[in-house]
Amino acid sequence: MRLLNSHACRVHRQDEGSSPPQTTGKHMHKLFAFWISLIWLSMAIVSAADMPADASRPNIIVFYTDDHGHADLSCQGVLTDIKTPNVDALAKSGVLARNGYSTAPQCVPSRAGLLIGKFQSKFGVEANGASLEGFNSELTIAERLQKAGYVTAQFGKWHLGPGNRITDHGFKHVFNQNSGASFSANIDSDGHDREMSSLRPEMYHIDGCSKAAASIIDRYNDDPFFLYVAYRAPHVPLDAPRKYLDRFPGEMPERRRQALAMLSAVDDGVGLITDTLAKNNLTEKTLIFYIGDNGAPLKIHKLDAPGGGPGWDGSLNDPLNGEKGMLSEGGMHVPFVISWPGKIPAGQVYDHPISALDVAATTAAIANIPAQPDDFDGVNLVPFLTGEKSDAPHEFLAWRWIAQAAIREGDWKLLRGGDREYLYNLENDLEEQTNLAAKHPKVARRLREKLSIWADKLDPPGLASGDMSKAANDYFDFYLDGKPASPLPQKFQPKSGNPKPSDEPDRAVSSWLTRGGTMSVTEDGWRITPHNPGSAQAPFITKNGLSLNGPVSVVLTLKPAASGAVGIAWRTSTDKKFTANNRLDVDVADTTGFQTIHTNLPSDSKIIHVRIQLPPGISSIQSIELKPAGGKLVTLK
């Protein structure tokens, strides 16, 4: 397109610089017709350059795994128990990025940054539980591609609002399966269209997503497509079926076996999808990214707790220090593979730092989608991976997550957490064991100033948007300051019988009912105690007889027993029962204090019944606010 525009400008300047021909009235019509024809021809040529034929537009697939530790690809060469032959083959056909980063050490902001292509704190999605209004107002890469004529499809975990609203963000096809429960979908696993509604799973969620994605490739093998395949693996709940567990016999923690099995299912899915590309002669025409959303949660102790609920997910970040919830390398230095056999040379190991933010910028560039300078914070990686450019793609990478902030420039990394500050040289100390801030104060000062300038462009501006939680302080104490690990939480200590709360329990408070446990009034608020506090049972509270015009905003202040998800479901006046479409999950952290989550129930109908499911264990609720559109506030305070 640049060549066409340049040529047109040169012709235009030559015409302006010459003497115009002398014409009479009888010549004017022919001259006018000539110029009109030339203008239309030029417009047609430029339009063709802007929108290349389908045959020249590559397909794009993004595999996005969940709480997947850096060590858990066999091509990383870190551990011997992990087996990922299909992802290894993908890396062999393209690039294994040794310094690939997610945009956050947590699910929701990481996914928002990936899909928008901007650092998520610029549009208000700092952490799990943040309002999604900013995300909803931005253009996803799927929307940009859909406008450019791409077929777009989402599979697996979404975590950015209700599943039945995913099509609002540019995805034509949706297969939102990420558990054994019913899920929102407008296609089945064979790629056949259906009305967007709740669909019962036919198979294990990882297998279902892989089959559906392969079916869409078969269906649209003559059209350019963008597939976002977001496997909920190895994130808890750990739920691998026997056929995958049996691949990993021998002595090991059961949670490790589960993680290996779930990642083996993911690897099978990658193999099915790449085989489907090959069958349709699309391998060389397809750019593939394989990226983790953040590091693995270890919970310091890597407790092999029974069941598959909250806690360590069995994945490992070796040799990196730290875990999910930290801006240390273990929290956001993730598996990162890129393949495009028709364009990018095979067998590369790439060492320059790159980011999941680069996915949107790269995708827009290769699809020839016009973009403004401030549309993306990432860069087009293709010229760097083909050798056209030899310098580093980024001058620096920077992050902010609540009370933590970090910047990496070359081999130097500055990490801040609350009032703590660390400086590492990652070339010599990838494990972040030696804090060099006192030894190299000028380097620390320079990076701090650069990080501060960058952070001033965020919303809100500054190096922190909140305080360090107890869990984050414990992580920094243990991983970065070398202090002994905190003792296991009381809920994991051996128990003799089921303890009873000190105050008299009831199943109802302020007409809110408890199911699977009891609710009692304490000085902190309302304590919800499951019938068996030592189990993985998750109680819920519910309120019926409401009359709330949607959409309804929810503000919930609680102290959960453990990190995990708070599930909020609602039933409208036209619903006979709760459905998967009318449910959203908000992640919460494991803290000693109360935390507040904000979300919206995106219903256009009157909501009559709300159910709030808490993480397993004993939780406390300080307040609940349900604010309808133009109606009376319903509270529990």
The token duo for 36 is 């009109």
Q: What is the pLDDT of residue 43?
A: 40
Q: How far is CA 417 from CA 3, 327, 423, in A?
A: 50, 9, 12
| Cα(43)–Cα(47) distance, integer angstroms | 6
Quick one: pLDDT at residue 637?
56
User: What are the Cα distances from residue 58, in Å, to 15, 47, 145, 222, 385?
Assistant: 39, 18, 11, 11, 16
Amino acid at 83: K
499 domain-assigned: no
What would the pLDDT profile of 238-267 be if each residue is shown by its tens digit?
999 999 999 999 999 999 999 999 999 999
State whether 339 and 217 are in the same domain: yes
Mean pLDDT in residue range 361-384: 97
Looking at per-residue pLDDT, the higher value among 88 and 7 belongs to 88
In this structure, the answer to whether residues 584 and 447 fall within a common structural domain is no
Domain limits for position 363: 60-394
Q: Evaluate whether residue 608 is within a structural domain.
A: yes
Longest dimension (CA), the chain: 108
Give the side-chain half-sphere CA count within 13 A for 395: 5
- The pLDDT value given to residue 431: 97
Residue 448 has pLDDT above 90, yes or no: yes
Say what the pLDDT of residue 512 is. 79
- Note the pLDDT of residue 511: 67
Structural domain tally of the chain? 3
Strands (E) located in 410-494: 412-417, 420-425
Instruction: Answer yes or no: is 2 within a domain.
Output: no
Please state, in angstroms and rounded to a whole number, the distance separating the CA atoms of residues 208 and 212.
6
Q: How far is CA 116 from the centre of its chain?
A: 11
The enclosing H or E element of 385 equals: helix 382-386
pLDDT higher than 70, residue 34: no
Question: How many residues are present in the chain?
Answer: 637
pLDDT of residue 10: 30
Q: Is the pLDDT of residue 383 over 50?
A: yes
Whether 320 and 464 map to the same domain: the answer is no
pTM above 0.85, yes or no: no
Task: Check which CATH number belongs to the domain holding 450 and give it.
Answer: 3.30.1120.10
Query: The domain spanning residue 145 has which CATH number?
Result: 3.40.720.10
Q: Is residue 46 situated within a structural domain?
A: no
335: its two tokens = 């598996």
Say yes or no: 389 and 410 in one domain. Answer: no
CB atoms within 10 A of CB 405: 25
In a domain, 4, yes or no: no
Asked if 272 contacts 211 with a C-beta cutoff of 8 angstroms, the reply is: yes
Q: How confident is the model at residue 334 (pLDDT cuts 50, 70, 90)?
A: very high
Give dist(CA 343, CA 418) in Å, integer: 44
pLDDT band (50, 70, 90) for residue 594 = confident
Highest-pLDDT range among 461-475, 503-517, 581-595, 608-622: 461-475
* Residue 613 falls inside a structural domain: yes
Alpha-carbon distance 276 to 225, whole Å?
14
Q: Do 364 and 220 share a structural domain?
A: yes
What are the residues facing 425 on neighbouring strands? Answer: 412
Going by their DSSP bridges, the two strands 348-350 and 354-355 should be labelled as unpaired
The three-point CA angle 129-432-316 to 5° equals 60
Domain check: are 329 and 415 in the same one?
A: no
Whether 6 is covered by a domain: the verdict is no
Does residue 91 carry a pLDDT above 90?
A: yes
Spell out where 86-159 has E strands.
95-97, 100-101, 151-156
For residue 295, report the phi and psi dihedrals to the nearest 5 degrees.
Answer: -70, 175
Q: Which two tokens stand for residue 163?
A: 């599943």
Backbone φ and ψ for 619, nearest 5 degrees, come out as: -120, 160
Whether residue 198 lies inside any domain: the answer is yes
Number of Cβ within 10 Å of residue 265's Cβ equals 23
Could you give the strand order of the β-sheet that contains 183-187, starting from the edge strand earlier in sequence?
A: 193-199, 183-187, 173-175, 151-156, 225-230, 59-65, 286-292, 336-339, 95-97, 348-350
Q: What is the pLDDT of residues 127-144, one digit of tens each?
A: 998 999 999 999 999 999
